[in-house]
């Protein structure tokens, strides 16, 4: 049994969703899922309800042990799948390429009528079974941060954070289909992957993204009112319209940094088709990275009158690009290995930083860092 694809329908306003996990092979026995901070309403295969058990991760007084426990392979949800359900799939008919089926109406987008049939793949004699989980967030503040500047919100990234907003298997790589539903038609969702389409039905807007690269759960999304800045064919910026001028100046070296990594240093294209930089408010750190998307603290933006922040921001940008290779695409499966993957990204970012500053300024910055 292998997880090959995950489809998520998430309603941002109601904080409810439907997650469809597609497995290849006979699905029977006990299925372990990462699912924390969620109230599960139903679990089904082919219209048949399944028994499941939820448990919360218990934390002690030692913060180090708590982090190890959260980052471990412990699962919060166990689903019992009988052979009569998981081993006897029915052929799925009338499905379009995007997996939603023909004639999909708005009630499907609103999580009421998702395709739940199992699939039989005749080409390789391997069945594909879809496990459908309907859920709602118990405490959205644990994973979704309000963004006052952009009048929206965004999901907090991290190695173990995806399980807080959708059921998933965090240490398994697969492709993703992401559908976001919300009421404010003036806003938009910026998410990992390729933007496919958006449409408005019954006063609600639906955004569709596809993540073709097989990844662990490093997908992110941000919701708000943004203005788009195009820096190159691969790099896009999203910011509140009032700060667009500052973003254009602050991110001027971004394309040069990306070119340095792809052409001179690593001689490899970006792991993802494009890189989106989203300026958000309330970010706990200066910058955080996900699959093809980077969160940048909006307060780091500046104009030409500010000199000190320019050096800091360019250093941060260099590290963010390096993290797309080491940290997101190549990732640490264990908590104890995080230092290594983060250290490689920071080491590579210094080469790009040296290119921007020049040798003398770079040595001065390095000396100042060592003296701190």
Q: Are residues 220 and 250 in the same domain?
A: no
Q: Per the domain annotation, does 127 fall within a domain?
A: yes
Choose one of 203, 224, 245: the last residue of a domain. Answer: 224
Mean pLDDT (the chain, rounded) = 82
User: Which structural domain, as residue segments, surrounds residue 25?
Assistant: 2-62+75-98+115-224
Strand, coil or helix: 269: coil
Over 50: is that where the pLDDT of 330 sits? yes
Q: Per the domain annotation, does 248 fall within a domain?
A: yes
Phi-psi region of 98 (alpha: psi -120 to 50; beta: other; left: phi over 0): alpha
Q: What is the pLDDT of residue 208?
A: 96
Choose one of 172, 198, 224: the last residue of a domain. Answer: 224
Instruction: Report pLDDT digits (tens) over 98-152.
Output: 444 333 333 444 444 444 444 444 444 467 889 999 999 999 998 999 999 999 9
Lowest mean pLDDT among 102-111, 178-187, 283-292, 297-306: 102-111
Q: Are residues 213 and 291 in the same domain?
A: no
Q: How many domains does the chain have?
A: 2
In this prediction, residue 87 has a pLDDT band, given cuts at 50, 70 and 90, of low
Q: What angle do CA 274, 224, 214 make, to 5 degrees?
A: 35
Lowest mean pLDDT among 65-69, 192-196, 279-283, 362-366: 65-69
CA pair distance 312, 85, nearest whole angstrom: 56
CATH number at residue 80: 2.60.40.1730
In this prediction, residue 331 has a pLDDT band, given cuts at 50, 70 and 90, of confident
Q: Are residues 218 and 311 in the same domain?
A: no
Q: What is the residue-wise DSSP string for 213-240?
A: EEESS---EEEE--EEEE-SSSEEEEE-
Token duo for residue 161: 């954070």
Choose one of 182, 206, 224: the last residue of a domain. Answer: 224
CA pair distance 11, 14, nearest whole angstrom: 6
Q: Per the domain annotation, does 109 fall within a domain?
A: no
CATH number at residue 327: 1.10.390.10
Contact partners, residue 257, CB within 8 Å, separation at least 6: 314, 317, 318, 321, 352, 355, 356
Edge-to-edge order in the sheet of strand 51-54: 29-33, 77-81, 51-54
More confident residue, 95 or 33: 33
Predicted TM-score (pTM) above 0.95: no
Q: Are residues 81 and 180 in the same domain?
A: yes
8 A C-beta contact, residue 345 and residue 319: yes
Q: Per the domain annotation, does 196 fall within a domain?
A: yes
């Amino acid at each position: 049994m292998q997880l090959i694809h995950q489809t998520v329908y998430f309603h941002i306003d109601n904080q409810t969703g439907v997650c469809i996990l597609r497995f290849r092979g006979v699905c029977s026995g006990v299925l372990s899922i990462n699912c924390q901070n969620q109230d599960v309403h139903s679990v089904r295969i082919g219209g048949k309800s399944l028994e499941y058990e939820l448990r919360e991760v218990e934390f002690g007084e030692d913060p180090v042990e708590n982090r190890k426990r959260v980052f471990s392979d412990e699962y919060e949800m166990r689903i019992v799948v009988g052979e009569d359900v998981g081993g006897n799939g029915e052929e799925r008919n009338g499905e379009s390429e995007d997996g939603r089926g023909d004639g999909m109406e708005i009630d499907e987008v609103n999580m009421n009528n998702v395709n739940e049939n199992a699939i039989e793949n005749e080409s390789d004699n391997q069945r594909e079974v879809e496990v459908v989980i309907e859920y709602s967030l118990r405490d959205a503040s644990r994973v979704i941060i309000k963004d006052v500047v952009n009048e929206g919100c965004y999901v907090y990234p991290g190695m173990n954070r995806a399980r807080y907003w959708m059921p998933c298997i965090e240490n398994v790589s697969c492709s993703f289909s992401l559908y976001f539903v919300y009421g404010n038609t003036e806003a938009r969702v910026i998410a990992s992957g390729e933007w496919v389409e958006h449409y408005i039905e019954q006063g609600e807007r639906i955004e569709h993204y596809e993540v073709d690269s097989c990844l662990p759960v490093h997908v992110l999304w941000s919701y708000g009112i943004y203005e788009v800045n195009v820096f190159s064919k691969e790099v896009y910026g999203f910011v509140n319209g009032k700060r667009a001028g500052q973003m254009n100046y602050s991110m001027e070296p971004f394309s040069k940094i990306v070119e340095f990594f792809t052409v001179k240093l690593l001689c490899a294209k970006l792991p993802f088709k494009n890189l989106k930089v989203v300026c958000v408010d309330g970010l706990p750190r200066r910058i955080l990275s996900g699959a093809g998307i980077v969160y940048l603290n909006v307060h780091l933006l500046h104009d030409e009158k500010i000199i000190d922040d320019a050096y800091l921001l360019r250093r941060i940008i260099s590290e963010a690009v390096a993290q797309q290779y080491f940290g997101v695409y190549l990732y640490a499966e264990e908590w104890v290995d995080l230092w290594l993957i983060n250290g490689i990204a920071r080491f590579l970012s210094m080469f790009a930083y040296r290119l921007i500053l020049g040798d003398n300024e770079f040595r001065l910055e390095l000396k100042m860092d060592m003296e701190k």
